[in-house]
Amino acid sequence: MSHFQFPRAYALGCMLSIFALQSSGDISIAADALPSTVMLINPAAIDQDDVCIWRDADDPERSLAITSDKSADQIFVYDLQGRLLQQLDVPKPGNIDIRQQVRLGGQCLDLVAVNQREGKPCLRLFQVDGAKRQLLPLASEIPLPGNYGGCLFHDRPTGRLYFIATAADGHCRQIEIRADAQAGITGQLVRKWHIGKCEGAAARDESAQVFITEERRGIWRLGARPDDPTPGALLARVGEHGLVGDLEGVALASNTHKMLVVSDQSRGKFVAFESTGGCRFVGEFSVPGVQATDGIEIVDVPLGKHFPQGLFACHNGAAKPCAIVLVPWGEVLAQLPRAE
pLDDT, tens digit only, all 340 positions of the chain? 444 454 433 233 333 332 322 222 222 222 233 347 899 999 999 999 999 999 999 999 999 999 999 999 999 999 999 999 999 999 999 999 999 999 998 899 999 999 999 999 999 999 999 999 999 999 889 999 999 999 999 999 999 999 999 999 999 999 999 997 777 899 999 999 999 999 999 999 999 999 999 999 999 999 999 999 999 999 999 999 989 989 999 999 988 788 999 999 999 999 999 988 888 999 999 998 899 999 999 999 999 999 999 999 999 999 999 999 999 999 898 878 764 4
276 forms beta bridges with none
What structural domains and CATH numbers belong to the chain? 36-333 (2.120.10.30)
Cα–Cα distance, 19 to 9 (Å, whole number)? 5
115 closest CA partner among 138, 97, 99, 129: 97
65 closest CA partner among 340, 333, 304: 304
For residue 338, the model assigns a pLDDT of 63
In angstroms and rounded to an integer, the radius of gyration of the C-alpha atoms of the chain is 19
Q: Is 189 helix (H, G, I), strand (E, B) or coil?
A: strand
For residue 337, the model assigns a pLDDT of 75
DSSP letter for 245, please: S
pTM: 0.90
